[in-house]
Amino acid sequence: MAKASLLAGLLALLSGCQAPEPPLRVAMIQWVGYQPLHLAQTLGYFGGQPIRLADFNSNIESLRAFRNGDVEVAALTLDEVLLLHADAHDAHVVLVMDYSQGADAIVSRPEYPDMASLKGKRVGVENTAAGAYMLARALEQAGLTSDAVEIVKVGAENQAQAYRDGSVDVLVTYEPLRTQLVNMGAREQFNSTQIPGEIVDVLAVRGSVLKERPEAIAALLSGWFRALDYAQAHPDDTAQRLAPRLELSAAEYRQAVAGIRLPALAENCALLNNPATQLGATVARVHALMIRMGLLTARDAPGTDILDALPLRSLGCDRRGSPAHTAEVAG
């Protein structure tokens, strides 16, 4: 009788125990604009939620992981989210992480004086929509067409070696690789300040995860904004913490982060709540250019339904886009 009672008690105890939630997996690369996620994790800003940051070598790998269901969240460029949408992947943009303001660039060997001199040269570029977009815009502004250069597919992890061994003349790149290549003698020919507002990094979340894991998503977003606040208040400590991850000195990190702008909660609330803002216009402009480049077709038009402000409302945003606080966080 005692054994039966003990067994019944154990069964009741076990039935009341729930398995811990699996970690929320976030895909990202070593882009300077994504590093506040690591800062938030280091500082314990995710509120005890099981959040795992997964570093990949390139956004190609991040996209693949999202498509395959290996991650629930991915830090990507806006054009890459448009590709996910076109492939019927339920990706929602819940955060504008950064606008590139010089941190994306095209560099060449020093003997080439300008973009026009790159005609016929070998251009190393990642096999990504973002790389193709950046190159197309640079060529367009220089009065060149895509067939004016020889495209060589070079992954981010191989860019320094490709420059070193002379297998390319030009590279489409981004921080921290841009700084590393310039330190090797490369000349910058074009950067994202020349296409303001067009290179946007966002956080994409699977739609089903927004419904199933709202607390984890809220903790991720809250941690992000707390990390931005910390970076603004403690820039030197932030540089010391994050520079080694990017293989930069603290001074180089500060220079790299100066090439991006990280919208604070106030701006994010406005951007995601109101499709008529700059972000909605950017979605339309990027989509139109991707059609011209053959990366999308006209039937892939997403409108602004990929923008989802609902998760930010847990941080205090209302339906009109009013924020919980309005402090702007600069790089």
Are residues 154 and 237 located together in one domain of the fold?
no
* CATH number of the domain encompassing residue 184: 3.40.190.10
Indicate whether 7 belongs to any domain.
no
pLDDT band at residue 36 using 50, 70 and 90 as cut-offs = very high
Most confident of 130-139, 193-202, 234-243: 234-243
Are residues 221 and 256 located together in one domain of the fold?
yes
Q: Which domain holds residue 58?
A: 22-100+198-313
Are residues 123 and 177 located together in one domain of the fold?
yes
Are residues 145 and 253 located together in one domain of the fold?
no
What is the mean predicted confidence (pLDDT) over 77-87?
A: 89
Of 194, 212, 243, the one marking the end of a domain is 194
Residue 246 has what pLDDT? 93
What value does the mean pLDDT of the chain take?
89
Indicate whether 129 belongs to any domain.
yes
Residue 324 has what pLDDT? 44
Indicate whether 223 belongs to any domain.
yes
Indicate whether 330 belongs to any domain.
no
Are residues 131 and 118 located together in one domain of the fold?
yes
Residue 262 β-bridge partners:
329
Indicate whether 323 belongs to any domain.
no
Are residues 229 and 264 located together in one domain of the fold?
yes
Are residues 206 and 306 located together in one domain of the fold?
yes
Are residues 34 and 110 located together in one domain of the fold?
no
For residue 125, the SS3 value is: strand
Residue 8 has what pLDDT? 53
Indicate whether 169 belongs to any domain.
yes
Are residues 203 and 268 located together in one domain of the fold?
yes
CB 82 within 8 A of CB 283: yes
What is the mean predicted confidence (pLDDT) over 143-155?
A: 94
- Domains in the chain, number: 2
Token duo for residue 277: 């803002």
Residue 93 has what pLDDT? 95
Of 161, 194, 227, the one marking the end of a domain is 194
Are residues 94 and 73 located together in one domain of the fold?
yes
pLDDT band at residue 266 using 50, 70 and 90 as cut-offs = very high
Indicate whether 264 belongs to any domain.
yes
Are residues 205 and 300 located together in one domain of the fold?
yes
CA dihedral for 93, 95, 97, 100, sign (positive or negative): positive
* Residue ranges of E strands in the chain: 24-28, 51-55, 73-77, 91-100, 104-108, 122-125, 150-153, 170-174, 187-191, 200-206, 260-261
Quick check: 76 pLDDT over 70?
A: yes
What is the mean predicted confidence (pLDDT) over 272-285?
A: 82
Cα–Cα distance between 328 and 44 in angstroms, integer?
Answer: 22
Quick check: 13 pLDDT over 80?
A: no
Are residues 28 and 176 located together in one domain of the fold?
no
pLDDT band at residue 6 using 50, 70 and 90 as cut-offs = low
Residue 54 has what pLDDT? 98
Of 173, 194, 215, the one marking the end of a domain is 194
Cα–Cα distance between 100 and 294 in angstroms, integer?
Answer: 24
Indicate whether 327 belongs to any domain.
no
